[in-house]
Amino acid sequence: MNADLHCHSVVSDGTLTPEALAARARANGVELWALTDHDEIGGQSRARDAAHAQGMAYLTGTEVSVSFCDVTVHIVGLGFDADDAELHRGLAATRGGRRERAQAMADGLAKVGIRGAFEGALRYVGNPDLISRTHFARFLVETGVCSDTSEVFRKFLTDGKPGFVPTVWASLGDAVRWIHDAGGVAVIAHPGRYRLTATQEYALFTEFIGHGGRAVEVVTGSHSQADYAKYAAMAQEFGLAASRGSDFHSPDESHTDLGRLPPLPSPLTPVWELLAHRVQHPVAVA
Ligand code: AMP
Ligand code: MN
Ligand code: MN
Ligand code: MN
């Protein structure tokens, strides 16, 4: 099964519409797809309709920003009821401070001589409620300050750099509960990316399970071969199902395309087996 259960549209910090993503996923052989915009589910009905128009099965998705041990951790939610009121409230609260944060980021950049970054970043924003660091990165590449987005993050947008603003996101428990109580499965996103000590990482997995989390991304665009093996072993140790997703954002920026990932290592339980009853299949038309 070619499942890709992690990517972003213009509803958060991707550059393609849900329809264009669905077409690209299908062209790359995806059979089961989820759009997982940051802290947002405003693109879900478009994504589902576009998936079905392409003949793909669909799972609802989102990627919730969480603060854990002073580090930002991402929790993907899959297969939830997109009309759930508590989930809507939780996501709205999580993304609520992004505009003020963006103003503060622009203030920090102005101090090192980069002017107009707030307005500049806004030009790339598809959803005014969701200004992200990625939109600032695109502005700084376009204006020639850096040559690519990873250079922008390294020089300006990570902890200790001029455009970085420490942010308190959702708690781990709240994020997992919103997803779980809406009938979905919570998934630890790209665990190989976090700057956590081994002890903190153990605590993340333990607390995540304690709150009702049931899966971890093993195969993702941001994992190395060594990460695949490490998190496959941790999935087994902790009794978690495994997910697979490219984390695709843009044809110009993402090195892993939709659907173009290795399969999950074989002894693992794919997260879509837990979610068989939540998969939305295209309706065959006679
Ligand atoms: P935010 O939620 O505004 O803090 O932005 C987080 C987003 O920035 C992530 O979802 C990625 O899309 C992007 N990002 C984070 N770190 C990097 C990096 N080193 N290079 C490129 N993009 C990054
Ligand atoms: Mn992103
Ligand atoms: Mn992420
Ligand atoms: Mn992502």
Quick: pLDDT tens for 166-215: 999 999 999 999 999 999 999 999 999 999 999 999 999 999 999 999 99
pLDDT band at 283 (very low <50, low <70, confident <90, very high): confident
Helix (H, G, I), strand (E, B) or coil at 58: strand
- Top mutation candidate among 7, 12, 13, 37 for ligand 1, by most atoms within 8 Å of CB: 13
Evaluated on CA atoms 163, 168, 173, 174, the torsion sign reads negative
Cα–Cα dist 267/205, whole Å: 19
Compute, in angstroms, the gap from residue 158 CA to the centroid of ligand 1.
9
- Rg (C-alpha) for the chain, rounded Å, is 18
Top-confidence residue, 193 or 284: 193
pLDDT of 69 higher than 90: yes
98 CA: nearest ligand 1 atom:
3
Compute, in angstroms, the gap from residue 174 CA to the centroid of ligand 1.
22
With tokens 């107009």, the residue in question is 116
Contact 188, 222 (CB under 8 A): no
Compute, in angstroms, the gap from residue 249 CA to the centroid of ligand 2.
7
Structural domains for the chain = 3-93+170-278 (3.20.20.140), 98-157 (1.10.150.650)
133 CA: nearest ligand 1 atom:
3
Mean per-residue pLDDT for 21-49? 98
Mean per-residue pLDDT for 13-27? 98
If 0-12 CB within 10 Å is exposed, 13-18 middle and 19+ buried, where does residue 171 land? middle
Residue nearest to atom 16 of ligand 1 (CA): 153
* pTM for this model (two decimals): 0.98
Residue nearest to atom 22 of ligand 1 (CA): 150
pLDDT of 286 higher than 70: no
Q: CA-CA-CA-CA torsion for 213, 182, 67, 90, nearest 10 degrees?
A: -170
Cα–Cα dist 188/191, whole Å: 6
Determine the residue type at 164.
F
Of 12, 9, 19, the C-alpha closest to 39 is: 12
- Ligand 1 interacting residues, C-beta cut-off 6 A: 13, 38, 65, 132-134, 149-150, 153, 249
pLDDT of residue 94: 98
Cα–Cα dist 74/83, whole Å: 22
Cα–Cα dist 165/219, whole Å: 30
- Top mutation candidate among 71, 133, 146, 149 for ligand 1, by most atoms within 8 Å of CB: 133
Q: In DSSP terms, which residues pair with 72 in a beta bridge? A: 67
| Average pLDDT over the chain, rounded to an integer | 97
Determine the residue type at 170.
A
Percent of the chain residues past pLDDT 70, beyond the cut: 99
pLDDT of residue 285: 63
pLDDT of residue 37: 98
Q: Measure the CA angle with vertex 261, ends 142 and 250; round to 5°.
A: 15
Mean per-residue pLDDT for 102-118? 98
Top-confidence residue, 266 or 120: 120
For 121-150, how does the pLDDT look when each residue is reduced to its tens digit (9 = 90+)?
999 999 999 999 999 999 999 999 999 999
Helix (H, G, I), strand (E, B) or coil at 32: strand
131 CA: nearest ligand 1 atom:
3
If 0-12 CB within 10 Å is exposed, 13-18 middle and 19+ buried, where does residue 129 land? middle
Cα–Cα dist 260/230, whole Å: 21
Residue nearest to atom 14 of ligand 1 (CA): 134
- Concatenate the DSSP letters of all residues of 213-277 into one string: --EEEEEETT--HHHHHHHHHHHHHHT-EEEEE--B--TTT-SS-TT-SPPPPTTSPBHHHHTGG
With tokens 């081994």, the residue in question is 198
For 49-65, how does the pLDDT look when each residue is reduced to its tens digit (9 = 90+)?
999 999 999 999 999 99
pLDDT of 284 higher than 90: no
Q: Are strands 241-245 and 215-220 parallel, antiparallel or unpaired?
A: parallel
Residue nearest to atom 2 of ligand 1 (CA): 132
pLDDT of residue 104: 98
